[in-house]
Amino acid sequence: MAVYAVRPKQVAEIRLDDLDRSIGRLRIRRPNRLDHEIHLDDFTLQLVKDWLIERHQLWPLSTNPYLIVSPITALHVDRPAVGPSNFKALRDRIGINPTQLRQDRLLDEARETADPIRLMRLFGITSHTAIHYVRTAYAERFTIDPTQA
């Protein structure tokens, strides 16, 4: 969520077959829109690998198709993915909610690159949203001088 500005609901719905570790890609399913493909960095790939090892050690017989499982969902194929509420402990620990975290990440990248196309590719956001974040990051560049209007 913090690196790729993925929403908790999207994280909870990632399936094991959405992950291709051999090429470092992760598909984020988005109903009624094209899926978004994330190119994972080495750090994130290592975290995913560590989680898969831990998941297998905890629940070696799990056939749940979701990447993120809990003790309740791990051993049930027909159980839904963990819910966004499962991320409450993380929110409480870091003191920022997922929406704020996403907005902060988008704004940070906009400040770094000032490139709406990069934001669109990196986060799978619309052009309108990308331009909004670039304008917010560089408000001084977009102010209209009333004497020039």
pLDDT, residue 149, reads: 53
Sites in the chain below the pLDDT cut of 70: 80, 84-85, 144-149
Q: Are residues 64 and 6 in the same domain?
A: yes
Q: What is the CATH number of the domain that holds 68?
A: 1.10.443.10
pLDDT score at 138: 93
pLDDT of residue 145: 58
Residue 131: CB atoms within 10 Å: 16
133 and 66, same structural domain?
A: no
Q: How far apart are CA 106 and CA 1, in angstroms?
A: 11
Contact 102, 5 (CB under 8 A): yes
Range of the domain at 133: 96-149
Helix 127-137 vs helix 98-113: crossing angle, to nearest 10? 70
Same domain, 79 and 107: no
pLDDT of residue 24: 95
- Domain end call among 94, 112, 135: 94
| Residues 121, 78 share a domain | no
Same domain, 78 and 109: no
Shared domain check, 87 and 29: yes
pTM of the model: 0.81
| Domain endpoint, select from 94, 119, 135 | 94
pLDDT number for residue 143? 73
Whether 55 and 22 map to the same domain: the answer is yes
Please, are residues 124 and 28 in contact by the beta-carbon 8 Å criterion?
yes
**Amino acid, res. 139:** A
Distance CA 26, CA 18 (A): 6
Our count of domains for the chain comes to 2
Alpha helices by DSSP H, listed for 1-86, are: 8-12, 42-58
Examine the domain organization and report whether 85 and 108 are in the same domain: no
Q: Are residues 105 and 83 in the same domain?
A: no
Tokens representing residue 144 in the block: 């209209």
